[in-house]
Amino acid sequence: MNGPAGPASVAALERRVAELEAGMEEHDELAFTLTHDLRAPLRAIAGYTQLITQEEGGKLSEEGQRWLEAVGAGASRMVRLVDGLARFSRLARADFACAPVDMYRLASEAADALERSGTAGRAAIDVAPLPPVMGDPDRLREVWDELLANAVKFSATVETPRVRVAIQKGESGPIFTIEDNGAGFDMKHAGRLFGMFQRLHHPADFDGTGVGLAIARRIVLRHGGSIRAEANPGAGARFSFEIPARSGGVAQERP
């Protein structure tokens, strides 16, 4: 008779893992196909709506113009959602590099890009000295882009918005933190925070697609790391992610 850790149990576990991996592969394949098939018609709707507005908008009644604007806004939002889903699904297929990564440079460049584009608004972004890690520099730059953009967006409504990037020592590697003094959120909803298309605030208050944090999470997990968030409503939020020290390649498992 096999015990709890006997050959039969191991074989059953391996079968279950294989089933889960196959299911996730099918999910990512479906997402990739859907985004490919949806992108062109959605862009056409958005483009033709804009053209009609420019060329024929003056002939429409005020109500007709409002309807057309609603169609254009909806199509543009769907394009952003599909583009975000495409980015997310590609991460499951992508090979990740494993090289020394200057995290201070990546965080500083991401902060500079937000300031140059005007996205940072009035927010002061302070980046403390950060240690290097082993990983994929392009993918980790995406993590900084998404987390800093998120911090800037949700601190835009306070009088003196501040975003600070710092470092803590973790058990398996450095823990990078991004802290803001913005809107925050109720921790009872924290489990939804990193899900695709999940939003904790009303779209009228903060624009967005609910994709960026899911992308950041998938990249961190592909590096074998972890990511979490802490916050209080109206008292800002603190995002932390850890990239473990490693001597081998970047983890390739799907999250």
> Does the predicted model carry a pTM greater than 0.75?
no
On whether both 139 and 212 belong to a single domain, the answer is: yes
How many domains is the chain partitioned into structurally?
2
On whether both 46 and 172 belong to a single domain, the answer is: no
On whether both 130 and 222 belong to a single domain, the answer is: yes
On whether both 122 and 63 belong to a single domain, the answer is: no
| CATH (domain of 88) | 1.10.287.130
On whether both 59 and 178 belong to a single domain, the answer is: no
On whether both 121 and 65 belong to a single domain, the answer is: no
| CATH (domain of 217) | 3.30.565.10
Question: Could you tell me the CA-to-CA distances from 63 to 67, 178, 218, 233 in Å, in that order?
Answer: 6, 44, 43, 38
As averages over each run of 10 residues, the pLDDT of the chain (255 residues) reads 53 55 56 69 83 83 85 79 77 87 97 85 90 96 95 85 92 90 79 70 58 91 93 87 70 45
pLDDT at position 197 is: 64
Q: What is the pLDDT of residues 44-74, one digit of tens each?
A: 888 888 888 888 878 888 888 888 888 888 8
Owning domain of residue 75: 7-93
On whether both 133 and 26 belong to a single domain, the answer is: no
pLDDT at position 146 is: 93
Q: Is residue 1 part of a domain?
A: no
On whether both 51 and 88 belong to a single domain, the answer is: yes
